[in-house]
Amino acid sequence: MSKLTLERGLEALRAQMDAPMATFFSSCVHCGLCAQACLFYTETGDPKYTPINKLEPMRRLWASEYTLWGKLKGLAGLNKPVTDELLEEWETLVYDGCTLCGRCSMVCPVGNDISSMIRKMREGMVASGHAPEGLVGASSRAVKTGSPMGLKLKALQAQIKHLQANTGLTIPIDIEGADYLVLLSSMEIINFPEYLEALARIFKQTGLSWTLSSEAFEATNSGVQIGSSDIARELVQRVVDGARKLRVNYVISPECGHAYTAIRWEGPNLIGQAYPFKVVHILELLDELLCSGRLKTTGMEHARLSFHDPCQIVRKGGVQAQPVHLLNQLADNFIPMQEHGKMNWCCGGGGGVSANERAEELRLQVFKRKKDQLEELHLETLVTACANCRLVMEEGLEEYNIELPIIGLTEMIADHLLEDPKGNKNE
């Protein structure tokens, strides 16, 4: 990365000053509704965490350089400049105190997509050198090794070897002409390898052709998290190139919230072209297979359980009905959270916050909102569809001395696969 300067950061912010941004700033009525929707404000009570306040450096630049009144004030020397000190002060608000969950955007009475604005704000922050060390390191590793955790192909191959030896399942890699290319997050590879086993069992039962790519197996996009379109573009292009090489028809986003947003919704815009394949979230595929009768399950979960909607999947990605439908096929004691679906509360670790060591104390503090949600339901099991959410919530529950097992929805489905006609379990 070239030398980072304040002017580079300001130029990056100026590059984001499009018509929607101008509309956002000029239409904000300072009603405070976004504050009441923000996890960090409600749990700390600190007004600095008000979502719109996190945009102050960018708003100040817009006001001084892109409005008539601001230009007149500038001539009179009355504008407050955007300084390096200001960006340094705001770094913790933009990165530590925001998960880009988008809940604030859902309640804005004038339709401002505040989380998208904060995402653009990060472009200037990273360009000026004001980004957390943890995210800088993750982004660097993602570019150099293909994984934000520094995982290389050998690590994936080792997990596959163990899985195949223990289960007898086949995990295909680099199969040209397969219908589905499966992406994984590093967290799934290391922390939750049972997700890959579940996929293998499901694909075996349904008879779908699938593969992993040795050149593009990582779904995590650290460029989106840190706010660097250049890095985000490179990581998306890596997946596109891998999918093209294998000539697949579909790319499956895993149980990882922001990865789905990055590859499906931001990806084509980042690389400036349409994909030669279709991107689907794993839950979209599973629901489609269930509805068509191709995915066959048996038995029911009787435990009192609920579902944590990952922010990027449900709010940004629109995958809301599918997990509910899947759970209703598998659980007879499924209890939705009071605030669920598009208005569910974030786990507190999205948007790169969980990779930001500096934010750990704040993250555990704001997890209290999710803790309260879970406690009021008296659950026996919690289900989710994001590996990062799962790990963050496990850490949060441990912090508050709460024992509550958490399982991925894909794994739950695999545990209820119908036996084949010969009476053998599909595994």
Domain boundary among 84, 100, 131: 131
Shared-domain flag, residues 152 and 228: yes
Mean pLDDT of the region 34-60: 96
* 423 is a domain residue: no
* 298 is a domain residue: no
In contact, 304 and 331? CB cutoff 8 Å: no
Average per-residue pLDDT for the chain: 92
% of the chain exceeding 70 in pLDDT: 97
Shared-domain flag, residues 119 and 151: no
Shared-domain flag, residues 94 and 154: no
Mean pLDDT of the region 340-366: 95
Shared-domain flag, residues 51 and 120: yes
* 427 is a domain residue: no
Domain boundary among 78, 98, 131: 131
pLDDT of 189 > 70? The answer is yes
Task: Output Rg (C-alpha) for the chain, integer angstroms.
Answer: 22
| CB-CB neighbours of 78 under 10 Å | 10
Read off the CATH number of the domain in which 395 is found.
3.40.50
Q: Residue 183 corresponds to which tokens in the numbers above?
A: 């992406």
Can you give the residue range of the structural domain that contains 318? 305-414
Q: Quick one: which of 274, 276, 290, 281 has its CA closest to 252?
A: 281
Shared-domain flag, residues 224 and 352: no
Shared-domain flag, residues 149 and 288: yes
* 196 is a domain residue: yes
Shared-domain flag, residues 174 and 288: yes
Burial class (CB in 10 A: 0-12, 13-18, 19+), 95: buried
* 268 is a domain residue: yes
Q: Quick one: which of 388, 309, 312, 315 has its CA closest to 356?
A: 388
pLDDT at 420: 52
Read off the CATH number of the domain in which 109 is found.
1.10.1060
Give the pLDDT band (50/70/90) at residue 317. Answer: confident
pLDDT of 310 > 90? The answer is yes
pLDDT at 426: 42
Shared-domain flag, residues 282 and 315: no
**For the chain, what is the domain count?**
3
Shared-domain flag, residues 112 and 165: no
pLDDT at 9: 92
Shared-domain flag, residues 360 and 382: yes
Domain boundary among 292, 319, 351: 292
Shared-domain flag, residues 252 and 178: yes
Q: C-alpha distances in angstroms, 37 versus 26, 72, 119, 315, 368?
A: 21, 36, 17, 13, 15
Burial class (CB in 10 A: 0-12, 13-18, 19+), 319: buried
* 140 is a domain residue: no
* 419 is a domain residue: no
In contact, 362 and 97? CB cutoff 8 Å: yes
Q: Per-residue pLDDT tens for 96-135?
A: 999 999 999 999 999 999 999 999 999 999 999 999 999 9
Shared-domain flag, residues 179 and 277: yes
pLDDT at 386: 93
* 425 is a domain residue: no
